[in-house]
């Protein structure tokens, strides 16, 4: 696994893993004018957050094989 901060982008299908080994799959990314980037996890609108790269924890990882570096990303 690689640190999300080192990868530096988000992508649908990417599986994020925290320090407690909890996983969340990115199922939606949208830009809201004036409000930034919103990211949805596990297909649930209740699990949608406003993304802030400045607040991403250093111990948040991306599961290997769940992203492609050549595709469009955020």
pLDDT digits (tens, 9 = 90+) for 5-45: 999 999 999 999 999 999 999 999 999 888 889 999 999 98
- Residue 35 has what pLDDT? 84
Whether 66 is in a domain gets the answer: no
Q: Which helix (H) or strand (E) holds 48?
A: strand 44-50
Whether 60 is in a domain gets the answer: no
Whether 31 is in a domain gets the answer: yes
Whether 46 is in a domain gets the answer: yes
pTM of the complete model: 0.87
Residue 71 has pLDDT above 80, yes or no: no
Whether 16 is in a domain gets the answer: yes
Range of the domain at 13: 2-54
Residue 51 has pLDDT above 90, yes or no: yes
Name the domain count of the chain.
1
As a whole number of angstroms, the distance between CA 35 and CA 68 comes to 27
Whether 69 is in a domain gets the answer: no
- Residue 59 has what pLDDT? 96
Whether 71 is in a domain gets the answer: no
């Amino acid at each position: 696994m690689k640190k999300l901060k080192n990868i530096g982008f988000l992508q649908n299908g990417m599986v994020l893993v925290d320090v407690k080994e909890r996983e969340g799959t990115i199922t939606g990314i949208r830009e809201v004018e004036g409000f930034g980037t919103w990211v949805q996890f596990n297909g649930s609108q209740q699990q949608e957050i406003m993304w802030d790269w400045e607040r991403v924890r250093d111990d948040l990882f991306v599961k290997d094989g769940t992203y492609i570096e050549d595709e469009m990303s955020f």
